[in-house]
Structure 1
Amino acid sequence: MAIINELMIVTGQMLAFAINALLHALIHDTEVWRTMLASRPLPPPHFRHGEPVRIPA
């Protein structure tokens, strides 16, 4: 269980780094971290009103 948690943490860090690099390549701004911080309050598309979408099995 601890290995899965650590894997998810590292994957999230890697994904954040990759998105930051992509934004930097597209925006060409040295302070692209402000864009990342500004996008934080937006809810993820797979959540509606704070509840996850239920996928039928």
Structure 2
Amino acid sequence: MDELRKPTEEQKKAYDAGARAFRAESDKAKNPHAEGSDVAKYWECGFLDAQKALCHRR
């Protein structure tokens, strides 16, 4: 089994930026990172987690 690695600072920042982008721009936000990169995936996770959180508050 692979050991889980802690996210890098860059990945944490990308996650936070994705969450902020959803809150600020909603569906108009675009991922600024290269498609398929690790940081792009973290940005998307932050964006989607913020979206899910909003749906569960309703």
Higher relative contact order (CA 8 A, sep 6+): 2
Structure with a larger share of its residues in strand: 1
Q: Same fold (TM over 0.5)?
A: no
Q: Identify the TM-score tier after normalising by the shorter chain.
A: 0.3 to 0.5
Structure with a larger share of its residues in helix: 2
Scaled by the length of structure 1, the TM-score of the pair is: 0.37
